[in-house]
Structures are given as structure tokens and as C-alpha cells.
A and B are shown apart, each in its own frame.
Chain A
């Protein structure tokens, strides 16, 4: 596994007219990681993903995939990146067999056996028209198309958004198998946090067109704590880097803080924070344009 990040962006931004949909995005995504790109709808997740794979031209900044620019050297980047767009577009009038054949003809590095055995194992008939398959099956087919070219990086835009729980589970099972088997790097976007926690080991929180937080999930959870104690001013707490969320009642103060060093103050009850709560806190902060400084954790890995 190469030590170089598979995805690198610096100051990446996209503008539509006078409105910046995405601004100043700087990320590094390490090889072999499964990264969740989380954010509310309209935060710029799709915009960012499209710039990663060269479907969209950045208005500012630069992006490197496997060391290359996807816009300037698409012939070198495309064969190594698999992509499933939102709503997994497919040629619905094709039979599954024909669609896999299309994959073979459009990709020099196509592994026909891998693709065919995958759909067979999933019980999807090769002679069926793709448009007649269920939503879950279509999502699996889209994933198969992306995996069939043996990519180094897989980018998925809301892959499980429209799937029922069973289909969602099966999709993630298949995805994890592929990661285990091929050493794939995965970036997937979602606006639902809960199911991603088991699957992802890295996180990027995108809100209001900017990166709010990025890094390995273990480190992030280790660096945030929930403090509960008697009512007091958040500014008075020592040894923390920033307060992400503060809530007060008459007698009690609860702070979600980012702190690199352990908090030894006995007047606080210190608890770990769950991923979902953490993400929500960061998103609330953006939504309310609250004052506390945002911890822009640049990810080290």
C-alpha cells in the first residue's frame, strides 16, 4: 500500500455564478481507508465528489487523484477510479449481461469473471433487463460496474439513500467484502450518519460549502469529549482547544469540546461522544452560525 494519499485537494472550490457551492476544501484521504463524506443536503458533497473524479471543473484550488489531475489527465485517472453517481444511473434497456459487456468494452482493465460471479452470487439474473431490477439490485449492479474495472479508488455518491434497510445492508456487505479483498480506498457520501459508523474509518464533515472536520474516526472520537457540570461560563474551562456546542440549564452546563489532552478537572463529568452526536453538533454549529471556533482538524494518518 502506497504511503501517498490517494486523494489530495488543496483549496478546492466550486462557484456557480456568484455563489460558492464549495470553498477552500483541503483534504488528504489515505490509501486503504473508507471515508464518509457527511453533510446536509446542499452542503456540496456531490459537487466535491464530481470534482474528485473529473466530472466537474474546479473554480479554485486543485485536486490530485493518485498523484494526477483528473481534468488534465483523464485517460490516466479514469481507469483507476470507479464511480457510482447519485441515483445510480444505468442503461436501463440493457440486459444485465449486456451491461457487463458494456463495462468490458469501455474499460481495458475489466475483470469479467469478477463482475459475473459477483452478480451471480447476489442472485441477479443476467438475462433480466436492468430497468426491471429492484432498487437494491440496481445499486448492486452499479457497484459491480464500478468494481469490475478493478479500480484503486471507489467514489460513491449517496449509494444507499434510496434503499430499504435490507438492500442497504446487502450493499454495504458487498462493499466491505470488496474493500477486504482488493485493498480498495473508498469515499462515500451520505446524509445519514448511523449506518456509516461501522463501515467507515475516516470522516469528512461538509457543511455550508466548507470542510468542518476531517480525520480518522478513532482519533476524532478520542479528541472530543462531553463535559457535564454545574452551570458556568464555557470560556472558563482549561485545557480545551475549542467548544463545539454549549448548552445550559439553570443549574447545569453541558459542553461538547475538542481537547487533545485529557481533562483532569474533577468538577466535570467527562464522557466520550458518539459519532452521530458529534456530527450533529458540528452541523448545528454551522446551521446556527454559532460563535465557537470550528476545529479544522486536518487529518493526519
Chain B
């Protein structure tokens, strides 16, 4: 049965392999380049001992790759693409009615279903392993500087969960709709909506975020290995009470500017404080487990539903 299943998904497997090949072709040269710049500019040493000058260098290093990182952001769709390609052949069996052929050979329907789902899961895991390994390596230098949270979507456990979730979504929609195109389309929309929604509104709150305040300006916040979501600047007196910004109009470097002269502020006993809300890098794996767990639970629910539907409604 394994041979038959592989032969059935020959086209989808080739497309998936092509897709992964493109990803490799994109990431390997660029990753090597990032790594070499990291080495040649001695960033590693800077990371080990942060100092003011070095901070600027680190920021420069990271922002140098901004556009590349943005482009790589599109790879967030890859788990959905892989999941769809892996799940599609199963949906096609129901769309084309060949399940009636498959279920009347000598393999029982339950065994057939178990093997098909196992193959889908196995393929998703393998593809996700390749992607995760590659992306973790690619982001190595960036993660060293700013911590792993920036690459949360691509590292650790969640890529496995995303890929499995996409596949399960296509399977569940496919067995109900019995139309592979509609199932994949709907699955994509749902996948994107859920991923964006959870990353934006749920992820920051898996654990109550921490706050840190510094009176010596941004550099005082040694928040490198962290996921910082808000930074709020405040003007306070030495005693800690808030100061009306209008009151220090006189300290503007020039009337139209938004910058304040530090020396002037010092004379007035006013300090600029910065409060950051963040998740520390030490929570990376915990957050990974939580989010992967959520998507894994959804995956299980979708697969259980699909199996139930097949057993109750299609037969």
C-alpha cells in the first residue's frame, strides 16, 4: 500500500521537493553570507561583551539584513503549501471516487485510513524538520544578537505544528467538501487568519510580560535576548514624578525639533526614562511549547473529525 500511495502522490511530492529546493537555494547562499559578515565584523565578540559603541554596531548589523529578513518572512506560507501538497492526494481520493476502488481491494478501510494519515504526518514532520533546521542555521547570527524570539515562527517546535495543522485543515475540509481546490483555498485563508491572529494577539500574552525601566536612556536597557513589544519614553523628575513635556520646551535643541538637549535636562533635574514591556529570551521554549501545543491540539481535533466524518458519512 505504501508503494501505491507514493505513486499516487508522485506529482505532489515532486512539487513539494521543488518548493523545498527553492527554499534551500534561497537560504543557503544568503545564510552563508550573513555568517561570513558576522565573522568578519567580529560581531561575536561584541555580543559577548555589550558596550555602548558595540550596541550601535549590533543594531547596524541586524538592520543590514532587514529587507532580506522581510523577504524570508514570505516563507511563513511554506508550511501551508507543504501541508496542502501532502494532504491533497487523500482529498482527491474522495473527490474522484477512487476511495471506492481503494476500499474494495484487500486492505480494510480502517487500516487504509490509518496508513494514509500516518504517511501524511510523517511527511509533514520530515519536511518541517528540514525547514526548521535550515532556518535555525540561517538565523544563527541574528539570533545570537537579538535572541531567538525574532525567528519564533521558523524555529523550535512550531513549524512542525503549523505544517501538520495545514495538512489536517485540508483533510478535514476536503472530506466534507469533496473538492480539493475549494478545500485548499479555504484552508489557506483559515491558516493565514489563524497564524496572524494568534501571533499578534495571543502570543504576547502566553505569560504575563515583564517590564523594565531605565533612566539612562535606551542603552540602559540591556534587552538583547528578549522580545520587546513596547517601549515607552517618559520624562520624570529625579523624585520619580511625571513631568509635563511642555514645561521643558526650553530644552528643545531647536524650536521645531523633537529632540531634547540632555545637558539642559540634567540641569533641571529631569531624566528620560524608558519602560519596556517584553518577554525574556529564557521563555522561548515555553512559548514554543504553548503555541505548538495549541496547533497540535487543533490538528488532532481536525483529524479526529475527518476520521469520524469518513466513517459516519461517507460509509
Interface residues of A (CB under 8 A from B): 53-57, 74-75, 78-79, 81-83, 85, 87, 89-94, 98, 101-103, 105-109, 145, 149
Q: Is B3 positioned at the interface, with any CB of A under 8 Å from its CB?
A: yes
Nearest 10 pairs of A and B residues by beta carbon: A106-B105, A83-B104, A85-B100, A79-B106, A89-B97, A74-B108, A107-B106, A102-B4, A89-B98, A89-B101
Contact of A85 among B101, B105, B106, B109 (CB under 8 A): B101
Closest CB of chain A to B48's CB: distance in Å?
57
Q: Is B11 positioned at the interface, with any CB of A under 8 Å from its CB?
A: yes
Inter-chain contacts of A107 with B (CB < 8 A): 105-106
Inter-chain contacts of B108 with A (CB < 8 A): 74-75, 78
Contact of A55 among B3, B7, B98, B315 (CB under 8 A): B315
B107-A55 in contact (CB<8A): no
B residues 80-112 touching A (CB-CB < 8 Å): 96-98, 100-109
Closest CB of chain A to B90's CB: distance in Å?
13
A94 vs B7: C-alpha distance in the bound complex, in angstroms?
Answer: 8
B104-A91 in contact (CB<8A): no
Inter-chain contacts of A81 with B (CB < 8 A): 104
Inter-chain contacts of A75 with B (CB < 8 A): 106, 108
Some 13 contacts from A to B, beta carbons below 8 A apart, are: A54-B103, A81-B104, A82-B104, A83-B100, A83-B104, A85-B101, A89-B97, A102-B4, A105-B1, A106-B102, A106-B105, A107-B105, A107-B106
Q: Is B216 positioned at the interface, with any CB of A under 8 Å from its CB?
A: no
A149-B8 in contact (CB<8A): no
B101-A53 in contact (CB<8A): no
Inter-chain contacts of A79 with B (CB < 8 A): 106
Nearest A residue to B107 via CB reads: A106
For B, the interface residue count at a CB cutoff of 8 angstroms equals 21
B107-A91 in contact (CB<8A): no
Inter-chain contacts of B109 with A (CB < 8 A): 54, 74
B4-A55 in contact (CB<8A): no
A84 vs B56: C-alpha distance in the bound complex, in angstroms?
Answer: 73
A103-B105 in contact (CB<8A): yes
A75 vs B102: C-alpha distance in the bound complex, in angstroms?
Answer: 13
A108 vs B8: C-alpha distance in the bound complex, in angstroms?
Answer: 20
A145 vs B10: C-alpha distance in the bound complex, in angstroms?
Answer: 22
B315-A89 in contact (CB<8A): no
Closest CB of chain A to B261's CB: distance in Å?
74
Inter-chain contacts of A91 with B (CB < 8 A): 8, 98, 101
Contact of B104 among A78, A102, A105 (CB under 8 A): A78
Inter-chain contacts of A109 with B (CB < 8 A): 106
Inter-chain contacts of B1 with A (CB < 8 A): 105-106
B101-A90 in contact (CB<8A): yes
Q: Given A55-B315, A91-B8, A105 and B97 touching (CB < 8 A)? A: no
Interface centre among A79, A98, A102, A103 (most CB of B within 10 A): A102
A260 vs B1: C-alpha distance in the bound complex, in angstroms?
Answer: 53
Nearest A residue to B99 via CB reads: A89
A149-B315 in contact (CB<8A): no
Contact of A105 among B4, B96, B100, B315 (CB under 8 A): B4
Closest CB of chain B to A135's CB: distance in Å?
15
A106-B106 in contact (CB<8A): yes
A93 vs B315: C-alpha distance in the bound complex, in angstroms?
Answer: 25
A108-B96 in contact (CB<8A): no
Inter-chain contacts of A90 with B (CB < 8 A): 98, 101
Interface centre among B1, B97, B104 (most CB of A within 10 A): B104
A128 vs B106: C-alpha distance in the bound complex, in angstroms?
Answer: 25
Interface string of B1-32 (1 = CB under 8 A from A): 10110011011000000000000000000000
Q: Given A91-B8, A94-B7, A106-B1, A78 and B105 touching (CB < 8 A)? A: yes
